[in-house]
């Protein structure tokens, strides 16, 4: 009897995990589509939508988990979770769809030449990312590696600086008239 329960539980668990995964895929696709439409309607470039609305929307689970562990006094876990999530997004979340698409096209006998990255200021964005990372490290070090209110305020200021720079880059041609 216990063996039957174990088999049913495992198959139910697998089925629920698969269903949740499919649900997340559908909801994510809808969220990206809605953000794209919202950007088109409001005349907001897709780069701006990506660094603001989509970034915030996909970071809510990270935010909630960081709040929970920080309230438990586990600041190192909160920071590690955020860093690990971003590294995962960059090193797995970006290349995995490209790899899957290349295998699908290979199976169809076609060659995958890659997706065009339309972010014309990609190098500047990467430099800003590295600069922000260094600024975060320096800010945390100046707070003696402790999560304080001052550190929280500095993080918000750094995010405001990042958004300002990213928006300036996105709208640069409109600002200078080129």
Among 115, 89, 92, 90, which residue's Cα sits nearest to residue 102? 115
CB atoms within 10 A of CB 36: 15
pLDDT for 56: 84
Distance between CA 113 and CA 85 in Å, rounded?
28
37: left (phi over 0), alpha (psi -120 to 50) or beta: alpha
pLDDT for 154: 92
pTM of the model: 0.71
As separate numbers, helices (DSSP H) first and strands (DSSP E) second, the chain gives 8, 0
Query: For every one of its 178 residues, what pLDDT tens digit does the chain have, with 9 covering 90 and above?
Result: 567 666 666 778 888 888 998 998 899 889 889 988 999 999 888 878 888 888 888 888 888 888 898 889 887 888 888 888 888 988 998 889 888 888 898 889 888 777 777 666 778 878 888 998 899 889 989 999 888 888 889 999 999 998 888 888 878 777 777 6
Which single residue is written with the structure tokens 């698969």? 18
């Amino acid at each position: 009897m216990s063996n039957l329960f174990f088999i049913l539980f495992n198959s139910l668990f697998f089925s629920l995990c698969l269903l949740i995964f499919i649900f997340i895929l559908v909801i994510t696709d809808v969220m990206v589509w809605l953000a794209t439409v919202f950007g088109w309607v409001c005349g907001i470039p897709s780069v701006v939508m990506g660094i603001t609305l989509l970034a915030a929307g996909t970071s809510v689970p990270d935010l909630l988990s960081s709040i929970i562990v920080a309230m438990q006094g586990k600041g190192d876990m909160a920071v590690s979770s955020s860093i690990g999530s971003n590294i995962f997004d960059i090193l797995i979340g970006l290349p995995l769809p490209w790899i899957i698409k290349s295998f699908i096209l290979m199976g169809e006998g076609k060659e995958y030449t890659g997706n065009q990255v339309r972010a014309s200021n990609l190098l500047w964005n990467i430099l800003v990312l590295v600069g922000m990372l260094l600024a975060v490290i320096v800010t945390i070090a100046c707070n003696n590696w402790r999560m304080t209110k001052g550190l929280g305020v500095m993080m918000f200021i750094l995010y405001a600086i990042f958004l300002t720079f990213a928006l300036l880059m996105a709208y640069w041609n409109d600002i200078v008239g080129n």
